[in-house]
């Protein structure tokens, strides 16, 4: 590449730093603080090796391996425990951070037409893509450094200098893989939405590949960079080699992205974008049809994703069953739900996780209305005689349907993979019921989103943080022995875990009531407020 | 004279849609060139190729004698571009954006910048999210005219400006012309470029169908007239260069070939003019003429 290809890259880099001077530190501080709190909490909750060994024993099953990956269960020190339980999960969040930051400065700028102005100036063809990659390198190095130094500074016995920095560097290296992957998708697709969606889909695929692979098919696992991540065995052997593989992969992805960037037209992609119809069908002339058309690709992608998640977890159930049968020790550790098999207990935990994931697409569907509003499209619709109430109503209705579809698909996936690998005993309707009890919680989240659209437009982040909080508290609450009231701050915490718990109708009705209240209020607010644009 | 822009047999395909079908454009130094065509004709596509933002499917494009795609950086040092639809960073102020552009360009004149901000009445301290379309366009215009570029490429730059600001814009173009700079101004309105341009090229469906000075294109333009006279104008249709005569209220409405205008006017004035309205030829009129003539030659 000629020197001029990178002309003005340093200035563009500084420009990115300036734009993200708040966003990036928030991500980094959040990630590092979270990482540091984990071993502190573990040291506090499980101070004795005997307690940790007991914990290791409960972890010795395919279901847990599928969720968190392999770990050094034979020497379950605080360090090994932290790496086992947290590294993979944190890496997924690091992946999200990298994807969001990269797409923002690549395809979004291009799609909005800002890149056109930059590129019409004497700026090298590769300067912008080079700037964002260097920026991400910088972000991930800082993440690796702060995490490594922070973990070491805790001065926990089993957490040495090398292990701590390996932990941090592993997160940073995985970060670079997803940063370059997102950069690549920003070249391939023509929209930021598609680039983000595909990057996240690949991230989840990597996660699921290693979940299935770690349990039953080693080779499948080795294709996934997230498996390379857990192979560093931080605090339990410390292998730096996978870091090299991760960095090589990132280098290759980045180089391909840069090459494609250099040869393609501005604002074009490589994946064909279907030419639209010349005339709207009558279907598109009503707002529900239009909203559905706008969301079609997203629905399909998420539907496939939910089905895959269900199938992946379902495929683990067989291993789980054969593993549990005859493991008396485990039966003793988990006595509180006597009468129910561990498989059933695991399924009920899965339901919770899957319902939290199934809440994402309907929330995106309803919040999309605000996205359209910002792009002035709603104002155009409003010129036609469509009341705002009707418009918001269409989006809400679609979101409610979306939630039901997504939740159902995940159960169908779980059940159909489950029955093929287990010796029977999975009754569809009881599983379906165990999942559907979470539907009111999803609707309550939609209610919150509607409320925000009505009163705090642009406050989307609140819903996402709240959903993340729900996941955090309910998924990790047991591990960290959180007080119970923390779980009661989220609608998902009120849902009975069927079949172990008794069915309770009161929380269902209460949640639906709250949802209705929030929606009605949101409608009022939306009708009164000004539309925002740009 | 050095050639500023040279496009030869340029084509562009988008998938299986042929957006440009062999475009030829030549521009000399110091020239103000009007690039006119209806929406969707291919103006923006051609302009983005001159800037090396998109690659020609075939043909050659040279700006200042350099290849538009492979030597775009060197070309851009001397080019300033304003698109028709400017979008900016919502969280930055207009002033910050102008600063960014001038830093990326590597040279700027603070004094000229302030002067332009005053002329365009733009408040640079507001966040871009609060700007209207016209104000965003002003940001790009200020950044462009504050630069010391030699070639201004302006793609329908006035589409969001009010008439007053359009005048400011026109005086900016005139200043640039006076300073010996070259300007390419695209538009879908014929009368807009008439005042400014030395030469125009007319593009339609990806092809240049006519090119030349406006003088040379006179044979294509007819002025629309509406007149009322004291004495009746019976013999009007007999005059050469007069077309489509019909009664309109108390007067007559008709079209006159621009080169016959003087003769026709002196004829009419002998009849005592009570009322006279004229409308400039529209792009549509011009196309119609073009195809009439092309058809007549067969
Ligand atoms: N990226 C693209 N993909 C497909 N078609 C395009 C693309 N860009 C422009 N076109 C088509 O090329 C034609 C010319 O567009 P454009 O150059 O924007 O016209 P103008 O600027 O004269 O209004 C239009 O029919 C437009 O739809
Ligand atoms: Mg255009």
Domain ranges of chain B: 3-211, 222-280
Record: contact B104-A4, CB cut-off 8 A:
no
B41 CB within 6 A, ligand 1: yes
Q: What pLDDT is stored for residue A1 in this prediction?
A: 47
Q: What pLDDT is stored for residue B87 in this prediction?
A: 92
Q: Does any CB of chain B come closer than 8 Å to the CB of residue A265?
A: yes
Mean pLDDT of A396-403: 95
Phi-psi region of B149 (alpha: psi -120 to 50; beta: other; left: phi over 0): beta
Question: Binning pLDDT at 50, 70 and 90, where does residue A399 land?
Answer: very high
Residue minimizing CA distance to atom 24 of ligand 1? B40
pLDDT digits 0-9 by tens, A233-270: 999 999 999 999 999 999 999 999 999 999 999 999 99
Q: What pLDDT is stored for residue A350 in this prediction?
A: 86
Q: Whole-prediction pTM value?
A: 0.88
Name the least confident of A232-241, A364-373, B130-139, B211-220.
Answer: B211-220
B44 CB within 6 A, ligand 1: yes
Does domain B222-280 match CATH 3.40.630.40?
A: no
Residue minimizing CA distance to atom 6 of ligand 1? B14
Nearest CA-CA partner of B24 in B12, B40, B11, B8? B8
Using a CB-CB cut-off of 8 Å, the residues of chain A touching B155 are none
Nearest CA-CA partner of A439 in A367, A491, A499, A498? A491
Question: Binning pLDDT at 50, 70 and 90, where does residue B257 land?
Answer: confident
- List, as own/partner pairs, every contact residues A61-67 make where C-beta atoms lie below 8 angstroms and the sequence separation is at least 24, other chains included: A61/A320, A61/A323, A61/A324, A61/A330, A61/A342, A62/A215, A62/A216, A62/A316, A62/A319, A62/A320, A62/A323, A63/A316, A63/A320, A63/A346, A65/A214, A65/A215, A66/A211, A66/A212, A66/A214, A66/A215, A66/A312, A66/A313, A66/A316, A67/A211
Residue of B nearest to A7 (CA): B73
Question: Binning pLDDT at 50, 70 and 90, where does residue A323 land?
Answer: confident
Mean pLDDT of A134-138: 98
Residue B297 has pLDDT above 50, yes or no: no
Using a CB-CB cut-off of 8 Å, the residues of chain B touching A534 are 90, 128-129, 131
Q: What pLDDT is stored for residue B296 in this prediction?
A: 46
CATH for B3-211, options being 3.30.420.10, 3.30.1360.70, 3.40.50.300, 3.40.50.2300 = 3.40.50.300
Domain ranges of chain A: 7-266, 284-534
Q: Does any CB of chain B come closer than 8 Å to the CB of residue A376?
A: no
CA distance B68 to chain A (A): 11
Question: Binning pLDDT at 50, 70 and 90, where does residue A475 land?
Answer: confident
Residue minimizing CA distance to atom 16 of ligand 1? B42
Ligand nearest to the CA of B19: 1
Q: What pLDDT is stored for residue B236 in this prediction?
A: 81
Name the least confident of A21-25, A87-91, A300-304, B230-234.
Answer: B230-234
Q: What pLDDT is stored for residue B255 in this prediction?
A: 86
Record: contact B104-A118, CB cut-off 8 A:
yes
Residue A342 has pLDDT above 80, yes or no: no
Using a CB-CB cut-off of 8 Å, the residues of chain A touching B128 are 534
Mean pLDDT of A95-108: 97
Name the least confident of A120-124, A321-325, B213-217, B285-289.
Answer: A321-325
């Amino acid at each position: 590449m000629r020197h001029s290809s990178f002309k003005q890259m340093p200035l563009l880099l500084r420009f990115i730093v300036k734009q993200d001077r708040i966003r990036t530190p928030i991500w980094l501080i959040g990630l590092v603080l979270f990482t540091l709190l984990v071993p502190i909490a573990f040291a506090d909750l499980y101070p004795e090796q005997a307690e940790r060994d007991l914990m290791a024993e409960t972890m010795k099953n395919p279901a847990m391996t599928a969720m968190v990956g392999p770990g050094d269960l034979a020497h379950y020190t605080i360090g090994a425990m932290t790496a086992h339980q947290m590294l993979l999960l944190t890496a997924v969040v690091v992946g999200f951070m990298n994807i969001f930051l990269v797409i923002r400065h690549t395809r979004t700028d291009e799609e909005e037409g800002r890149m056109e102005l930059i590129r019409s100036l004497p700026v090298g063809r590769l300067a912008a893509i080079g700037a964002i990659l260097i920026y991400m390198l910088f972000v991930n190095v800082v993440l690796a450094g702060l995490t490594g130094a922070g973990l070491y500074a805790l001065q926990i016995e089993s957490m040495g200098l090398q292990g701590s920095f390996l932990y941090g560097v592993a997160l940073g290296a995985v970060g670079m893989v997803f940063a370059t992957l997102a950069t690549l998708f920003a070249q391939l697709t023509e929209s930021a939405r598609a680039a983000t969606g595909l990057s996240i889909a690949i991230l989840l695929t990597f996660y699921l590949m290693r979940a299935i692979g770690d349990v039953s098919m080693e080779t499948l696992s080795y294709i996934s960079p997230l498996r390379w991540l857990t192979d560093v065995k931080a605090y339990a052997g410390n292998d730096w080699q996978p870091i090299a593989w991760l960095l090589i992969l990132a280098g290759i992805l980045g180089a391909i992205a840069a090459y494609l960037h250099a040869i393609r037209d501005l604002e074009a992609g490589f994946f064909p974008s279907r030419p639209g119809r010349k005339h709207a069908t009558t279907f598109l002339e009503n707002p529900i049809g239009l909203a559905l058309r706008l969301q079609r690709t997203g629905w399909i992608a998420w539907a496939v994703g939910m089905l895959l998640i269900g199938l992946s977890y379902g495929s683990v159930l067989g291993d789980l069953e054969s593993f549990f049968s005859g493991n008396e020790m485990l039966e003793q550790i988990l006595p509180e739900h006597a009468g129910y098999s561990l498989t059933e207990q695991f399924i009920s935990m899965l339901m919770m996780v899957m319902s939290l994931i199934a809440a994402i697409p309907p929330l995106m569907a309803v919040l999309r209305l605000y996205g359209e509003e910002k792009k002035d499209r709603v104002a155009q619709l409003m010129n036609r005689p469509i009341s705002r109430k009707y418009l918001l109503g269409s989006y809400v209705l679609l979101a409610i349907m979306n939630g039901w579809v997504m939740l159902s698909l995940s159960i169908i996936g779980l059940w159909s993979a489950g029955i093929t690998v287990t010796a029977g005993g999975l009754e569809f309707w009881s599983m379906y019921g165990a999942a559907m009890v979470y539907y009111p919680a999803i609707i309550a989240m939609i209610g919150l989103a509607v409320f925000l659209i009505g009163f705090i437009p642009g406050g989307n982040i609140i819903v996402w943080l709240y959903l993340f909080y729900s996941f955090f508290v309910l998924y990790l609450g047991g591990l960290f022995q959180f007080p119970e009231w923390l779980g009661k701050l989220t609608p998902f915490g009120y849902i009975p875990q069927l079949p172990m718990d008794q069915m309770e109708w009161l929380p269902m009705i209460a949640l639906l009531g709250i949802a209705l209240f929030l929606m009605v209020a949101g409608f009022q607010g939306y009708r009164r407020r000004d539309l925002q644009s740009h | 004279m050095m050639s500023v822009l040279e496009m030869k047999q340029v084509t562009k395909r988008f998938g299986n849609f042929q957006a440009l079908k062999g475009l030829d454009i030549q521009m000399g130094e110091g020239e103000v060139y009007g690039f006119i065509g209806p929406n969707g004709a291919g103006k923006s596509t051609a302009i983005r190729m001159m800037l090396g933002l998109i690659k020609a499917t075939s043909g050659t494009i040279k700006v200042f004698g350099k290849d538009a795609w492979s030597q775009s950086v060197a070309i851009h040092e001397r080019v300033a571009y304003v698109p028709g639809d400017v979008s900016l960073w919502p969280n930055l102020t207009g002033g910050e954006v102008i600063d960014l552009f001038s830093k990326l360009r590597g040279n700027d004149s603070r004094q000229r910048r302030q002067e332009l901000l005053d002329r365009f009445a733009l408040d640079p301290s507001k966040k871009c999210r609060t700007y209207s379309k016209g104000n965003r366009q002003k940001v790009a215009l200020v950044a462009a005219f504050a630069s010391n570029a030699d070639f201004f490429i302006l793609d329908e730059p006035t589409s969001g400006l009010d008439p007053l600001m359009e005048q400011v814009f026109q005086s900016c173009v005139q200043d640039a012309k006076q300073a010996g700079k070259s300007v390419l101004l695209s538009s879908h309105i014929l009368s807009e470029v008439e005042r400014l341009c030395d030469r125009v090229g007319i593009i339609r469906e990806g092809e240049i169908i006519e090119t030349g000075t406006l003088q040379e294109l006179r044979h294509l333009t007819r002025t629309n007239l509406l007149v009322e006279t004291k004495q009746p104008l019976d013999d009007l249709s007999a005059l050469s260069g007069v077309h489509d005569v019909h009664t309109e209220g108390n007067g007559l409405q008709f079209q006159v070939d621009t080169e016959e205008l003087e003769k026709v006017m002196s004829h009419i004035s002998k009849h005592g003019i009570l009322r006279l309205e004229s409308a400039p030829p529209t792009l549509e009129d011009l196309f119609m003429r073009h195809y009439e003539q092309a058809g007549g030659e067969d």
